[in-house]
Chains A and B, each alone.
Chain A
Amino acid sequence: MIAAPKRRCLGLPSELRRPGARRGRAWRAVAALLILCSCGQDPEVSFEDTPTAEPGPLDPLYSGCAAAQPGPRCALGPEDALRVWVDVHPERPVTVTIDGAPASGVERDAVAGGQRLVFTPPAGARWLELRAPARAPFVMELRPAAPLDPALVEVDELDLDGDRRGALARLDAVTPGLSGAARADALRLRGDLYFRSEDNERALAAYAQAMDALVAVGQLRAASDVALTASFLCSEVLLDLERAAGWLTRHEALLERLPEARLRHSYYRGLLGERRGDLRAALVDYQEHAALAEKLGLWTDVFAARSAEAVLLARIGREADSAAALERARAVGDAVPLEMHGKLLNNTAWARLLALESGRPAADPRPLLDEALALLGPGGPAEDPASAGHVLVNLAHAAVLRGDVDGAREALAALAGRTLDLRPGLWRELIVGRLALLERRFADALAAFERLDLRAAESGGWDLAWHAAIGRGQALEGSGRPREALDAYAEAESWLDEQLSRIALEGGRERFSGTHDLGARHATTLLVARGDLTGALCVARRARLRAHERLAREARHRLDDPAARSRRERAFDRLARGRAAIEAEFERSWTLPRRDGERLRATLAARGDALRRELDAALADLELAPYAAVTCDALARPEPGELLLAYAPSVTGWFVFADDGVTLQVTALSERVVRDASAGLEGWGAALLDPVADAIASAQRLRILAAGPLLEVPFAELPLGDARLGARVPIVHALDLPALAQADEAPASALVLAPTSNLAHAAEEAEDVAAALSALDLDVDALLGEEAVGVAARERLIGLGLLHFAGHARAGAGPWEAALEMSGETSITVADIIALPGPAPRHVVLSGCETGLVDPAASGGGMSLAHAFLVAGARSVLATDAVVDDARARAVIASLYAALVELPELDLAAALQAAQARAHADGDCDDGLCGSFRVWVR
């Protein structure tokens, strides 16, 4: 296989090994070694009338042809192994015949619901045939790969001997005498020789000629390799994104004629997408490539794609997912060259650096960097000067983050005289600026950050521009220029607003926002220092609501453009229909033979993922106008009698703002006080409530805006004076979304959902709730037991005054995987709620486990079922942030509704206050579990 002879750096990407740094026996082998070096409605189905699934013809993925042409026709070298993945259940037989005889030595593995077959056709083989029961066979013509023209072998050997100039001269001499495929090979070889010489423009010119020649002689696999190599060169080395896009477009033209080219297209498209800041598409591309490569057992590709995925996830702030991707890369083990392990060490360290940078705990990255340097540095077993340069920059970065001036100087000194690639060069600039800040050389720091700002803008360094803006702000503050510093921080915040839409709905926007709050923290701290408390609170609130407000705007806000409105409606409708169809098919899958059923369910899972991606893409396309951040005036003001308590991170600790609409006060809390207080409720109460006790004393209701680890604090259970806070006042937790336009009269309908759950108390709860809601003069509809399937419930969610759910809920591995479990293994998911085609229920009670689970690393607590209902327009949602005992849940809910029927309006917070008081009085809350119930509001 031949592919891009350069790799992309992982993380602070230890860049590709330079061309020529390692030798191969032939130029084809060299190219292969360098490949991809990335561093861095009622779903009930009649059991009696179900048709059998009709699988299509075999359409395998395959890899290993030295040259491939339509047909399909595959050219193989004498020892070339073919790797094939077929979509046939692992327990079903797949026969491999070559020229009519069973193939020998076929290695079989069950992978991704199908089978991977690896085998080496004998010399002279002509026809490969794959057969599986009830599937039309796949036939491919085989032929021997044409050997490289002897003259070109000679050229390659000259290059391998270190005589590149001689190789180029010899190539110039022999090329005019060549024709057809040999000439196309010569043009390609010319490109590679220039590429290895870092004569990039000449390399690109030669690749352009080679591409045309290879396509002309039908050498599509080679043409694919050339296009991807050129794309890589443009996006990763030259940072010329337009030209990279041009090469990818040329490559795209091959895909139809050469299905094999699909394998790596997504990877290179991901690289370009990431460079452009299109994190949404890049992540999908890396994951797609890794999945394809895993099917075929292309371990170098898996390694590269998982590593790239890990770095991108770390950039977004999804550390756990990043670590999982790194682990999957590491699991490849010895199947990849040592130098790639060196790069993975660097990338793992890089992910830790990003966590530390955003103030989150992470292990010390230095041991990993030292190990990487031992591999890649001078004299190391995988010596690679360019990659070692990356490692050294990261060592300097680590030193700066821990405030180690000497360590940073030492690491930067080790970089002296080195020529770094563009990206590590930019990061070095950032480190230089930060070192100057540490040493209080503010003018030097400002100059470094301004240089970085310019270069980052030129090179598409989306994250570096943000770092540069914050650095400039710090340097300006240090220089006594606070107004300009605030402008720089505002610039960093605007940059975040812009970036947010480039992250997929499920891609971690809330995490991204929550882990990129450095600019807001600096600005808040500076504004408090200057006595502008209103401005400081505004900055903190805007940073906190950013992700949810963006989503609410995309999904719910009125769109003036009819075309955009129509697109959104279609997207919602498509999701709803798709989900209903998937659930019906899922049910049908259980009427099929096991293997067919398993196959169908795997397909349906993929279809569900695709549906959510389509929704995301549709909402992203709605953003026709530049994003306008929420203004301070648009932020909700406290209602009469309400006290807004906002806990916001500062540079060194926390602020607590107390705003009753008349008086705004702020108190600084040190990080240590907050950290030490985490031992228990008493400590939390003293740290978080005592400073604002006077303000609380005169409040009739509390509206809490917490952030970070404080999101997990059970405020209602904290002691204040001689009573629990929750006993003093009703409490709501807010996403802080701008107020909705005054709505019409509240709908008078209610829905009670109690799916089949095998819970002892859910059905009783549903009956009690229905009775209470009727007492509230609401028209009550109920879906109970097996009637409560997903599609029926989803269709009834629109325009309700109140929704009550009693049953199982799951938080899921990722926040967007949270769901209410409905009967028949159906569900109501976060995406279903966000994409409701009409107004969400005004009030919602989610009496299941973890329906309001928060993510302390994400702004506003991330995404949960409760968050989703609020984003979709609900006024208030009662949810839980813990696993809830069935009997206790029923008791709390019974008290809640008993209180609710006595209140003048549907006030969930006041009703919960009464229910929790009752639980405490009955001794049912000694373990604090009833404190896991919270009311969330917009």
Chain B
Amino acid sequence: MIALFRCIGSTGMADTLLDQLGALEREDQEASPRAWEEVVAGARAVDDVAAAHEGPPGEAERLAALFAPMSDADAERLVERLAGVVKQSHARETPPSLSQARARRRGLWIGGGVTLAAAAAVLLWIRFAAGPSALETSLPGYQLAIRGPEVSVVRSGEPSGPAPRFSTGSRIHWVLSPDEPVNHELSAALHVRVWASSDDETRTALLDEAVRRSPTGALALRGILRELLPLPPGRWTLRFGLGASPIPAALEEARGDPQVQLTSAQVVEIVE
């Protein structure tokens, strides 16, 4: 996927904000189409919604399985698994799976009427002992490493200066590495956003589809710079934000979000 930037600079502010809101809405729609909420609420049958669903082959079945009410036996098993997640997070031997935890919470909420009492107890207990927020903020810190050569006019391969230089056509290989292992499920579900700030503006883009993920949480951004980060020439300060939940488009908002891990600033110089 080619990530598109949306300006949130000083010009066109209103349009930009609308764009952002629209984008977030689309992201939410993609993740959890609203029609399925009526299934959860008991207003429509799962088969009806599945039949009316428009999407890639197999998606309707996947969503039907996800949103269908739980049986009691399923609820029991889920409670046990959740307890296991909490136990794991206590032991800290293996990193918690945020995506699993999130999916299970959603499943409980969706199946509400059937398993409410047990679910509520478990949720409360989770919040008290470890809590979803505690789980989510356990995402480790991330650091950016710039691999591969910068753009250069000499053939020595030495760094050209304090700020790495790239042309818009440069082939880049950047890696975001977690300080501690992140489990496979979380790694696969991580959201990644970049903010690029110049003296005049700040741009942002989602990189969820652009990055390649390792099972322990390392994310690689590899390819042609203008295709990954279509920034015009200039000096840019880059920050990457990572989180188990969708990351706010505004950097300030992301800064204040305890569920988002921000990398330290990396200045790069982009030339034609």
Give the distance in Å from the alpha carbon of A849 to the alpha carbon of B158 in the complex.
10
A777 to chain B, nearest CB (A): 29
Give the distance in Å from the alpha carbon of A43 to the alpha carbon of B154 in the complex.
26
Answer whether residue A889 sits at the interface, using C-beta atoms and an 8 A cutoff: yes
Interface string of A818-853 (1 = CB under 8 A from B): 000101110000000000000000000001111000
Contact status A809-B155, CB under 8 Å: yes
Contact status B155-A884, CB under 8 Å: yes
Residues in chain A near residue B154, CB distance under 8 A: 849, 883-886
Which chain A residue has the least Cβ–Cβ distance from B165?
A: A758
Answer whether residue B182 sits at the interface, using C-beta atoms and an 8 A cutoff: yes
Residues in chain A near residue B145, CB distance under 8 A: 590, 594
Give the distance in Å from the alpha carbon of A594 to the alpha carbon of B180 in the complex.
7
Answer whether residue A748 sits at the interface, using C-beta atoms and an 8 A cutoff: no
Report whether over half of chain B's contact residues are helix, strand or loop; otherwise say mixed.
loop
Contact status A785-B171, CB under 8 Å: yes
Within 8 A of B (CB), among A798-818: 807-810
Contact status A885-B153, CB under 8 Å: yes
Q: Which of the 9-residue segments B32-40, B81-89, B109-117, B208-216 touches chain A?
A: B208-216
Residues in chain B near residue A762, CB distance under 8 A: 155
Give the distance in Å from the alpha carbon of A848 to the alpha carbon of B175 in the complex.
27
Answer whether residue B140 sits at the interface, using C-beta atoms and an 8 A cutoff: yes
Contact status B155-A758, CB under 8 Å: no
Give the distance in Å from the alpha carbon of A808 to the alpha carbon of B148 in the complex.
11
Answer whether residue A596 sits at the interface, using C-beta atoms and an 8 A cutoff: yes
Contact status A756-B171, CB under 8 Å: yes
Give the distance in Å from the alpha carbon of A593 to the alpha carbon of B219 in the complex.
10
A680 to chain B, nearest CB (A): 24
Given the contacts A594-B179, A785-B171, A786-B171, A50 and B215 also touching, CB distance less than 8 Å: yes
Which of B140, B148, B218 is within 8 Å of A592, CB to CB?
B218
Which of B140, B155, B179, B215 is within 8 Å of A49, CB to CB?
B215
Contact status A590-B220, CB under 8 Å: yes
Give the distance in Å from the alpha carbon of A36 to the alpha carbon of B191 in the complex.
57
Within 8 A of B (CB), among A755-776: 756-760, 762
Which chain B residue has the least Cβ–Cβ distance from A886?
A: B153
Answer whether residue A790 sits at the interface, using C-beta atoms and an 8 A cutoff: no
Contact status B157-A821, CB under 8 Å: yes
B137 to chain A, nearest CB (A): 17
Residues in chain A near residue B158, CB distance under 8 A: 810
Contact status A809-B157, CB under 8 Å: yes
Give the distance in Å from the alpha carbon of A809 to the alpha carbon of B157 in the complex.
6
Give the distance in Å from the alpha carbon of A823 to the alpha carbon of B148 in the complex.
7
Give the distance in Å from the alpha carbon of A549 to the alpha carbon of B214 in the complex.
49
Answer whether residue B149 sits at the interface, using C-beta atoms and an 8 A cutoff: yes
Answer whether residue B71 sits at the interface, using C-beta atoms and an 8 A cutoff: no
Answer whether residue A574 sits at the interface, using C-beta atoms and an 8 A cutoff: no
Which interface residue of B93, B175, B214 has the most chain A CB atoms within 10 A?
B214
Residues in chain B near residue A595, CB distance under 8 A: 179-180
Contact status A594-B143, CB under 8 Å: yes
Within 8 A of B (CB), among A90-112: 91
Contact status A594-B177, CB under 8 Å: yes
Contact status B178-A760, CB under 8 Å: no
Contact status A593-B171, CB under 8 Å: no
B209 to chain A, nearest CB (A): 14
Answer whether residue A134 sits at the interface, using C-beta atoms and an 8 A cutoff: yes
Residues in chain B near residue A50, CB distance under 8 A: 214-216
Interface size class of B (residues with CB under 8 A): 35 or more
Contact status B157-A810, CB under 8 Å: yes
Which of A134, A592, A883 is within 8 Å of B216, CB to CB?
A592
Answer whether residue A52 sits at the interface, using C-beta atoms and an 8 A cutoff: yes
Within 8 A of B (CB), among A859-886: 883-886
Contact status B155-A593, CB under 8 Å: no
Contact status B149-A808, CB under 8 Å: yes
Given the contacts A591-B216, A756-B148, A596 and B181 also touching, CB distance less than 8 Å: yes
Which chain B residue has the least Cβ–Cβ distance from A762?
A: B155
Give the distance in Å from the alpha carbon of A756 to the alpha carbon of B149 in the complex.
8
Which chain A residue has the least Cβ–Cβ distance from B158?
A: A810
Give the distance in Å from the alpha carbon of A884 to the alpha carbon of B31 in the complex.
53
Answer whether residue A730 sits at the interface, using C-beta atoms and an 8 A cutoff: no
Answer whether residue B236 sits at the interface, using C-beta atoms and an 8 A cutoff: no
Residues in chain A near residue B150, CB distance under 8 A: 758
Answer whether residue B166 sits at the interface, using C-beta atoms and an 8 A cutoff: yes
Contact status B147-A593, CB under 8 Å: no
Interface size class of A (residues with CB under 8 A): 35 or more
A369 to chain B, nearest CB (A): 40
Residues in chain A near residue B216, CB distance under 8 A: 50, 52, 591-593, 596
Which chain B residue has the least Cβ–Cβ distance from A887?
A: B153
Answer whether residue B99 sits at the interface, using C-beta atoms and an 8 A cutoff: no
Residues in chain B near residue A744, CB distance under 8 A: none
Residues in chain A near residue B180, CB distance under 8 A: 593, 595
Answer whether residue A48 sits at the interface, using C-beta atoms and an 8 A cutoff: yes
Contact status B149-A47, CB under 8 Å: no
Give the distance in Å from the alpha carbon of A848 to the alpha carbon of B157 in the complex.
9
Contact status B156-A757, CB under 8 Å: no
Which chain A residue has the least Cβ–Cβ distance from B140?
A: A593
Given the contacts A48-B215, A758-B151, A825-B148, A593 and B157 also touching, CB distance less than 8 Å: no
B71 to chain A, nearest CB (A): 34
Residues in chain A near residue B215, CB distance under 8 A: 48-52, 591
Within 8 A of B (CB), among A867-917: 883-887, 889
Interface string of B201-226 (1 = CB under 8 A from A): 00000000000111111101000000
Contact status A593-B181, CB under 8 Å: yes
Answer whether residue A708 sits at the interface, using C-beta atoms and an 8 A cutoff: no
Within 8 A of B (CB), among A723-759: 756-759
Which interface residue of B93, B155, B157 has the most chain A CB atoms within 10 A?
B155
Answer whether residue B170 sits at the interface, using C-beta atoms and an 8 A cutoff: yes
Answer whether residue A714 sits at the interface, using C-beta atoms and an 8 A cutoff: no
Within 8 A of B (CB), among A565-618: 590-597
A403 to chain B, nearest CB (A): 43
Answer whether residue B261 sits at the interface, using C-beta atoms and an 8 A cutoff: no
Give the distance in Å from the alpha carbon of A45 to the alpha carbon of B212 in the complex.
11
Residues in chain B near residue A52, CB distance under 8 A: 181, 215-216
Give the distance in Å from the alpha carbon of A152 to the alpha carbon of B55 in the complex.
91
Interface string of A786-797 (1 = CB under 8 A from B): 100000000000
Answer whether residue B167 sits at the interface, using C-beta atoms and an 8 A cutoff: yes
Give the distance in Å from the alpha carbon of A809 to the alpha carbon of B182 in the complex.
37
Give the distance in Å from the alpha carbon of A124 to the alpha carbon of B173 in the complex.
56
Contact status B171-A886, CB under 8 Å: no
B88 to chain A, nearest CB (A): 14
Answer whether residue B152 sits at the interface, using C-beta atoms and an 8 A cutoff: yes
Contact status B179-A593, CB under 8 Å: yes
A809 to chain B, nearest CB (A): 6
Residues in chain A near residue B167, CB distance under 8 A: 758, 760
Residues in chain B near residue A757, CB distance under 8 A: 149, 152, 155, 157
Within 8 A of B (CB), among A252-266: none
Residues in chain B near residue A592, CB distance under 8 A: 177, 214, 216, 218
Give the distance in Å from the alpha carbon of A592 to the alpha carbon of B182 in the complex.
10
Which of A91, A134, A809, A824 is within 8 Å of B156, CB to CB?
A809
Interface string of A441-478 (1 = CB under 8 A from B): 00000000000000000000000000000000000000
Q: Closest 10 CB pairs between A and B?
A: A808-B157, A591-B214, A849-B156, A594-B177, A47-B212, A758-B151, A848-B155, A849-B155, A47-B214, A758-B170
- A–B pairs, 24, beta carbons within 8 Å: A48-B213, A51-B215, A591-B218, A592-B218, A593-B182, A594-B177, A596-B181, A757-B149, A757-B152, A757-B155, A758-B170, A759-B149, A760-B151, A762-B155, A809-B157, A810-B157, A810-B158, A824-B148, A848-B156, A883-B155, A883-B156, A884-B156, A885-B153, A885-B154
| 12 extra interface residue pairs, beta carbon distance < 8 Å, beyond A52-B181, A594-B178, A848-B155 | A48-B213, A593-B182, A756-B171, A758-B151, A759-B151, A760-B151, A760-B167, A808-B155, A809-B155, A821-B157, A884-B155, A886-B155
Chain A positions within 8 Å of B, measured between CB atoms, are 47-52, 91, 133-134, 590-597, 756-760, 762, 785-786, 807-810, 821, 823-825, 847-850, 883-887, 889
Chain B positions within 8 Å of A, measured between CB atoms, are 92-93, 140, 143, 145, 147-158, 166-167, 170-171, 173, 175, 177-182, 212-218, 220
